[in-house]
Amino acid sequence: MQPKLSVITIVYNNVKDIERTMLSVLNQTYQNIEYILIDGASTDGTKDIIYKYKSRLAQFISEPDKGIYDAMNKGLSIATGDYVLFMNSGDEIYSPVTVAEVFETAAAADIYYGETEMFNERWESLGQRRHHSPENFDWQSFKYGMSISHQAIYVKRSLAEPFNLEYKYSSDIDWIIRAAKNASSIVNTHSYVAKYLVGGVSKKKHLASLKERFRIFTKYYGLVPNLINHIFIAINLAQYYIRHRRTND
């Protein structure tokens, strides 16, 4: 049997990108998808775009929220799939056959993950993320940075705990680490599974996001190891920027 995948998209005032994101989900060849869309009471025409496809949505909620992760928790609380995937407005599932290919990789894994391709605001490819997905992923794999984006990880719903609202910009890191700690089988798909639009909230609030990440990594890896790891993170970032003149985080 095909496992049921709950894809959750959150959006607020993003009329420019929401349709592209929605179509990347709705045009999947994989049939057993529950598509949940959480809108933060948009006022820019975003809801008009969503209503065009409302009959193809499993759930649609439009109401004010307390931020990105509160909205993601709303979606998670009503998801009924065997797995969950967060594909926020502006991002895309990589191709129409991606979901089918992910689940063909192995049967009944706790987590599936893959690579992410980065795109700018003109939807021009910036190439692969600076942090390549590790060959073998576990909860300690983030010690040198977030090597898997949340758009590129399929998590068994039974392992998907609510996002910690203590974190405003980097709660997805904490969420993935917690899921990985409880997972017994994690599968690398060895393929691109997501397209990511750069310049989200974590970029606009970059310093606050970095501080949160440091707190999260310290919680799981310890202060001294985290300080040492950040030396390597800084060196790798500098080397990448010198070569490419961008960070591709």
Each domain of the chain, given as residue ranges in start order, spans: 5-204
CA 199-201-204 angle, 5° bins: 65
Mean pLDDT, each 10-residue run in order, the chain (249 residues): 95 97 98 97 96 97 96 98 97 98 96 95 84 88 87 97 95 96 97 89 71 93 84 67 61
State the amino acid at position 27 in one-letter form: N
Which two tokens mark 79?
């998801």
pLDDT score at 239: 63
pLDDT score at 143: 87
CA pair distance 243, 246, nearest whole angstrom: 8
Q: Report phi then psi at 61, rounded to 5.
A: -120, 130
Which two tokens mark 156?
């068994």
Spell out the alpha helix ranges (H) of 8-165. 18-26, 46-51, 68-78, 98-105
**Which residues are within 8 A (CB) of 227 and not within 5 positions of it... i.e. 6 or more apart?**
none
pLDDT score at 150: 92
DSSP state at residue 229:
H
CA 4-23-124 angle, 5° bins: 120
DSSP code per residue over 116-140: EEEE-TT--EEEE-SSPPPSS--TT
DSSP state at residue 108:
S
pLDDT score at 124: 92
DSSP state at residue 161:
P
> For the chain, give me the number of helices (H) and strands (E)?
8, 9
pLDDT score at 61: 97
CATH label, 5-204, candidates 3.40.190.290, 3.90.550.10, 3.20.170.30, 1.10.260.40: 3.90.550.10
Q: Note whether 58 and 35 are within 8 A (CB).
A: yes
Categorise residue 172: left if φ over 0, alpha if ψ from -120 to 50, beta otherwise. Answer: alpha
pLDDT score at 144: 82
pLDDT score at 161: 96
